[in-house]
Chains A and B, each alone.
Chain A
Amino acid sequence: MRKVAVIGVGQSKFGELWDYSFREIVLSAGIEAIEDAGLEGREIEALYVGNMSGGRFLAQEHIAALIADYSGLAELHIPCTRVEGADASGGLALRQAYLAVASGLHNIVIAAGAEKVTDVGDRAVEILASGVDREWEVFSGATLASLFAMMARLHMDLYGTRAEDLAMVSVKNHRNAVKNPKAQFRKEISIDVALNSPYVAEPLRMFDCAPISDGAAAVILASEEVARKYTDTPVFISASTQATDYIALGSRKDFTTMDAVVFAANEAYRKAKIEPKNIDVAEVHDSFTIAEIMAYEDLGFAEKGKGAELIREGITELEGDLPVNPSGGLKACGHAAGATGIRQAVEIVLQLRGDAGERQVDAERGLALNIGGTGATAVVTIFSR
């Protein structure tokens, strides 16, 4: 396998993008990535796009061909493929692009992620819940939030995690998003506001839940040799791993651990020949605040049951030893389903290149964790300078 580098990144604003269509949002992210890489565009040999539910959000399938059409890639007749794994679709697209370059099949590949959700209004919540077991969880009255709420309830009872700890995750991520011009919610919130927001599914409140956003992101991958021609600051992918678990929460061994995350993370550390303590910055999948606390544990940043200590001690703040979600995370940067995994990669690359502006942290190695649904799919990517 060859070494793979990221040579360009781009991202649309995340949020309620009423004035922009799906194809316009994707194009803006793609063009930004191509310009960032210093490419003309014709050098691209393949496209992988993560998209969770074009069919239900837009009544549009064949998303990869649509993007190829609107971006001019159709003129080149290169292979363009959509990849789906609920809200881990972006992470999966990144991994497919990585494999295409690492294997020697292609030299320059674009990995994108895109979702347009606001056109269906309130139905977006129900569509996002198609990432869990529709027949045996959702039909029986479970919502996506209530499944994470049941993980939170158990984590609180078994390990002493408090509502305040969850709220602190939200407060941190909102604070970080203020410094991210592409973020959806660029406003600080107080812990009192978070703790007094209405319940969505007890014990989770509104400020424990990420929004469902419109957005797109793109990264351009190249082999090491090709990358050196385009940039003096390539960021390398030192590991790209993926793992799977039972889709329904009830079938898993432990509801406070995402085994898919544990497996993907352990494999990633082994491949990158590093340990969790060597990670300097991380973007994790905080679709709900409890998921960030669980990610601290499942990624090996904290012992099982002690995830909340990281947020209490300020370790994962922007100024802490291990900043997590400097972008604002899914909670405050926004969660554009299939775009999220790529958006996380964009953030880590900006951080490692020193291009993260006001939210810049000091980092040589970064990790991105993208999960689908309640964790049936997990994708871990480790980046290094």
Chain B
Amino acid sequence: MLPRFWRKIKYRYNLLATKCENCGTYYYPPRNLCPTCRRKSKIVETKLSGRGEVLSYSIVHDVPESLKEQKPYVVAMIKLEEGPVITTQLVCDPKEVRRGMKVRAIFRRCGEEGEAGIIYYCTKFIPD
């Protein structure tokens, strides 16, 4: 799993997106091909503001082994200001989360490969 993770570190850590300059659509996760413009795609990399709002959410109780210390945690679909919808963890009190809530991106530890293994970091969100 390791190369699969660090290959995209640039995008994960910095919330770096891509944008199709032909139609103006932003993509996060980044795409190298615009599904709308196809061969007319003109893809460039661009930084996102990191601000958005919660479209939907769930408080996860049955959690994967690697996240058991965080149980229960909040996962949310967040619509970013620039348009893309990102699915990621929202760091807040589960009682606090609601649809339409304004949130912003932060850099956080995401998990680890066992106790002696490498630590993963990623972008999560917090209430803004």
Q: Pick from A141, A153, A199: contact of B73, CB below 8 A.
A: A141
Q: Chain B nearest CB: distance from A203 CB in Å? A: 8
Supposing A141-B73, A142-B75, A143-B62 touch, asked if A154 and B67 sit within 8 A by C-beta, the answer is: no
Given contacts A136-B29, A248-B29, A250-B86, contact A201 B56 (CB under 8 A): no
Interface residues of B in 4-57 (CB under 8 A from A): 4-5, 8, 29, 55-57
Set of chain A residues within 8 Å of B88, measured between Cβ atoms? 140-142
Tell me, yes or no, whether A18 is within 8 Å of chain B by CB.
Answer: no
Closest chain B CB from A147 CB (angstroms): 8
Residue on A nearest B58 in the bound complex, by CB: A149
A135-B4, A143-B64, A145-B62 are known contacts. Are A153 and B89 too (CB-CB below 8 A)? no
Tell me, rounded to whole Å, the shortest Cβ–Cβ distance linking A120 to chain B: 13
Is A150's beta carbon under 8 Å from chain B? Answer: yes
Asked whether, in the complex, the Cβ of A157 is within 8 Å of the Cβ of B62, the reply is no
How far apart are the CA atoms of A136 and B72 in the complex, in Å?
Answer: 20
Is the pair B5, A139 in contact by a Cβ cutoff of 8 Å? Answer: yes
Q: Which residues of B contact A140 (CB under 8 A)?
A: 75, 86-89, 110, 122
Does B58 contact A201, Cβ atoms closer than 8 Å? yes
Q: Is the CB of B60 within 8 A of A201?
A: yes
Given A141-B88, A255-B55, check contact A250 B62 (CB 8 Å).
no
- Shortest CB–CB separation between residue B99 and chain A, in angstroms? 6
Q: Which residue of A lies closest to B94 (CB)?
A: A202
CA distance in complex: A184, B64 (Å): 25
- Contacts A135-B29, A137-B87 known; A153 to B67 CB distance under 8 Å? no
B55 near A202: Cβ-Cβ < 8 Å: no
Q: Assess the B122–A153 pair: CB atoms within 8 A.
A: no
Residues of B within 8 A of A138 (CB): 64
In the bound complex, residues from chain B placing their C-beta under 8 Å from that of A146 are: 58, 60, 75
Cα distance A126–B67 when bound, in Å? Answer: 12
Q: Which of A29-79 contact B (CB under 8 A)?
A: none
B59 within 8 A of A: yes
- Which of chain A's residues have a CB closer than 8 A to the CB of B110? 139-141
**B53-95 contact mask (Cβ, 8 Å, vs A): 1 or 0:** 0011111111111010000110111000000111111000000
A249 at the interface (CB under 8 A from B): yes
* Number of interface residues, chain B, beta carbon within 8 A: 30
A150, B60: Cβ atoms closer than 8 Å: no
Contact for A153 among B29, B87, B99, CB less than 8 A: B99
Indicate whether A151 reaches chain B with its CB closer than 8 angstroms.
yes
Chain A hits for B4, CB < 8 A: 135
How big is the A interface, by class? 20 to 34
Q: Of A126, A139, A250, which one neighbours B77 at CB under 8 angstroms?
A: A250
B79 CB to nearest chain A CB (Å):
9
Q: In chain B, what residue has the closest Cβ to A202?
A: B59
A199, B59: Cα distance in complex, Å: 9
Q: Is the CB–CB distance between B8 and A135 below 8 Å? A: yes
Tell me the complex Cα distance, A140–B55, Å. 16
Closest B residue to A154 by beta carbon equals: B56
Q: Which of A114-158 contact B (CB under 8 A)?
A: 122, 125-126, 133, 135-143, 145-147, 149-151, 153-154, 157
Report the bound CA distance from A150 to B85 in whole Å. Answer: 13
The verdict on A357 contacting chain B, using a C-beta distance below 8 Å, is no
Nearest CB on A from B82, distance (A): 13
- Docked Cα-Cα span, A142 to B74, in Å, equals 9
**A200 CB, min distance to chain B CBs, angstroms:** 4
Residues of chain A within 8 A (CB-CB) of B61 are 198-202
Is A255 a contact of B56 with CB atoms below 8 Å? yes
Q: Nearest chain-B residue to A141 (Cβ)?
A: B89
Shortest distance from the beta carbon of B68 to any chain A beta carbon, whole Å: 11
A145 to chain B: closest residue by CB: B62
A248 to B77, CA, bound (A): 11
A-B CB contact pairs (8 Å), 7 listed: A136-B29, A139-B110, A140-B88, A141-B75, A146-B58, A147-B87, A255-B56
- The 8 A-B pairs of least Cβ separation, nearest first, read A149-B58, A250-B85, A150-B56, A140-B88, A141-B89, A202-B59, A146-B58, A136-B29
Known: A147-B87, A150-B75, A151-B56. 15 other contacts (CB 8 A): A136-B87, A137-B87, A138-B64, A140-B110, A142-B87, A142-B88, A146-B58, A153-B99, A199-B72, A201-B60, A204-B58, A248-B29, A249-B77, A250-B77, A250-B84
